[in-house]
Amino acid sequence: MPLDSRELVETLSMVHSQHLDIRTVTLGVDLRDCADPDPRNCARKAAEKICRVAGRLVPTARQIEEEYGIPIVNTRLSVTPVSWFGAACQPLDFLPIAQALDSAAASLGVDFLGGYSALVEKEMSVAASALIKSIPDALAATHRLCASVNVGSTQVGLNMEAIALMGRIIAACAARTAASDGSACARLVVFCNAVPDNPFMAGAFYGAGEGETGLSVGISGPGAVLAALRDLGPDRNLLDVAETIKRIAFKITRAGELIGRRVAERIGVPFNIVDLSLAPTPAPGDSIGDILEAMGVEKAGGPGTIAALALLNDAVKRGGAMATGRAGGLSGAFIPICEDATLARRASEGVLSLETLEALTAVCSVGLDMIAVPGDTPPETLAALIADEAAIGLSHHKTTAVRIIPAPGKKAGDRVEFGGLLGGGPVMSVSSVRAADFVRRGGRIPPPVGALRN
Amino acid sequence: MTSPRRLNQEFAVQIERAGVPNGADRGSRIVLAVIGKDRPGIMAGVTTILANRRANILDVTQTILGGLFTMLMVVDIAEMNGSFSDLKRELEAHGNANALSILVQREEIFHAMHRL
């Protein structure tokens, strides 16, 4: 059946006035064959392999963008966790690898490279521990490198030793980049139930079970959802709202999958997954907060917010799962405060609190995302916040994440600016109730008994 | 007189001979959207560029919306002289010189979004 002009106009306006874009095409590269006892050799092999495999990624993405008329906002790389392929190095000095990966990413023109990562949900290996302790140096010495640490899973529980350590690491990252409001923390994610095929930063790594290479796509499109809800009007019931979001999510996902497949074809790598996460940007009208408010919650963060986000999250998955058989990654709504102008505004007005964001974690993915907090927040409090978020993931069999920035020298109510996609926002207040005695106990929080499924 | 059933059958045969569009040949089709203040010669300007490059127009919808000329075209560029990027740049330059907004995209993206 030929296209009718209504369909043509709908797509054109989704792209040209509603910010429909592809948030990221992320090429995963397995670096396990780059292991070497000499850290410098390991770094060189990794950089060479990335440049060989991903040499055409950026020009191809630009070409596809031109031909299909849909902007590809970021091109990214995800690699095998450095703590895996770097474990053979003697000494365990990962800094040369961090710098080589960052330089390779810069020379290829990709925006971010993820995989400076360790998975320590049960225990920390010697290499994992060394990698985690090197994160502040690695992030301070690089610009595109992203780090992530998995501290828990529904199968094995929460590693409280690792969580306590991450509280101190985050504080150290902020201190190392004090001049830029602690910006290194924006490139560091702490996960529970991390996934091996996430294309979104800062938490992307190319995990166990993935192929030699694979190209994944992260969709965007809050603006298109918002426009559809505004067309629907304020009087239709929430089943109609869900149906409308589902239909738009289908279209956004189909666009994302097509773009991803075409990029993969042209650079000659397998197509991997489509991540069905609606990713906002700081641009006006490209906000998850606006969608919640279009549903009828006066200000995002007020009563009704959790219910509205639950509806949005599920409707996006329904439409997306119908559109692609390749759903993967995180596939849940993101609510990164600094990257979403409306959420940032509501947070600065005091309508959206840290506690509400914690509650929202129950119905979306990555609950405490791009949250700036006072620079004097104790590392034990950061760790306890991580534990709270991870516990939601633990109990609900889902991925949760924390990307929190204790902005040096800043107090609640001040502002931070990171620029670009990372945006900016208010410094949110954190409870002063002490968590140090709880965090200091260490050990592990056991998995829920429901995890024993076999 | 030919029966309606017979006509339907002949029509089906004709369509079959003409070749029903499929995924393979959609790859060479583009959608062209032209928007601008209405005046004589807009369509002629655009179609001249297409004709000179041997790009084949398959479908045209044109109307005036609130004084704005709006035209949507589906064009086959399989036999075209030059690359997609060449055509796009030429059309965009034409648009800039004549105060027209001209958008060019592969048709495949529209099918992906609107067809199961």
The pLDDT value recorded for residue B16 is 61
Higher pLDDT, A245 or A18: A245
CATH of domain B22-114: 3.30.70.260
pLDDT digits (tens, 9 = 90+) for A36-63: 999 999 999 999 999 999 999 999 999 9
B4 to chain A, closest Cα gap in Å? 22
The backbone torsions φ and ψ at residue A395, rounded to the nearest 5 degrees and listed phi first, read -80, -25
Q: Do B109 and A66 touch (CB under 8 A)?
A: no
Higher pLDDT, A280 or A139: A139
pLDDT digits (tens, 9 = 90+) for A320-343: 999 999 999 999 888 999 999 999
Contact A226, A213 (CB under 8 A): no
Which of B103, B105, B113 lies closest to A251 in CB terms?
B113
Comparing CA positions, the residue from A239, A319, A334, A237 lying closest to residue A289 is A334
The pLDDT value recorded for residue B11 is 67
The pLDDT value recorded for residue B20 is 45
The pLDDT value recorded for residue B24 is 45
Which of A2, A10, A68 lies closest to B106 in CB terms?
A68
**Of B35, B76, B80, B113, which to mutate for an interface test with A (greatest number of A Cβ within 10 Å)?**
B113
**Whole-complex ipTM:** 0.80
**A-chain residues within 8 Å CB-CB of B76?**
none
pLDDT of residue B21 exceeding 70, the answer is no
pLDDT of residue A89 exceeding 50, the answer is yes
Residue recorded with tokens 């990555």: A366
Nearest CA in chain A to B61: A5
Quote the tokens at residue A8: 């043509």
Which of B59, B84, B110 lies closest to A11 in CB terms?
B110
- Please report, as a single letter, which amino acid is at residue A444: R
The pLDDT value recorded for residue A309 is 97
Cβ pairs bridging A and B (under 8 Å): 59
Nearest CA in chain B to A8: B110
Helices (H), A324-373: 341-348, 354-360
The pLDDT value recorded for residue A173 is 98
SS3 A374: strand
pLDDT digits (tens, 9 = 90+) for A114-140: 999 999 999 999 999 999 999 999 999
pLDDT digits (tens, 9 = 90+) for B87-99: 999 999 999 999 9
pLDDT digits (tens, 9 = 90+) for A156-213: 999 999 999 999 999 999 999 999 999 999 999 999 999 999 999 999 999 999 999 9
Chain centroid to Cα B112, Å, comes to 17
The pLDDT value recorded for residue A15 is 81
The pLDDT value recorded for residue A427 is 97
pLDDT of residue A103 exceeding 60, the answer is yes
The pLDDT value recorded for residue A97 is 98
Percentage of residues of chain A with pLDDT beyond 70: 100
Whole-angstrom distance, CA of residue A101 vs CA of residue A87 = 16
Higher pLDDT, A18 or A310: A310
Chain centroid to Cα A381, Å, comes to 22
pLDDT of residue B14 exceeding 80, the answer is no
Task: Identify any residues that bridge with B100 across adjacent strands, giving them in sequence order.
Answer: B36
With bands split at pLDDT 50, 70 and 90, how would you rate the model's confidence at B22?
A: very low
**Of A9, A11, A248, which to mutate for an interface test with B (greatest number of B Cβ within 10 Å)?**
A11
**A-chain residues within 8 Å CB-CB of B59?**
2
pLDDT digits (tens, 9 = 90+) for A378-428: 999 999 999 999 999 999 999 999 999 999 999 999 999 998 888 999 999
pLDDT, averaged across chain A = 95
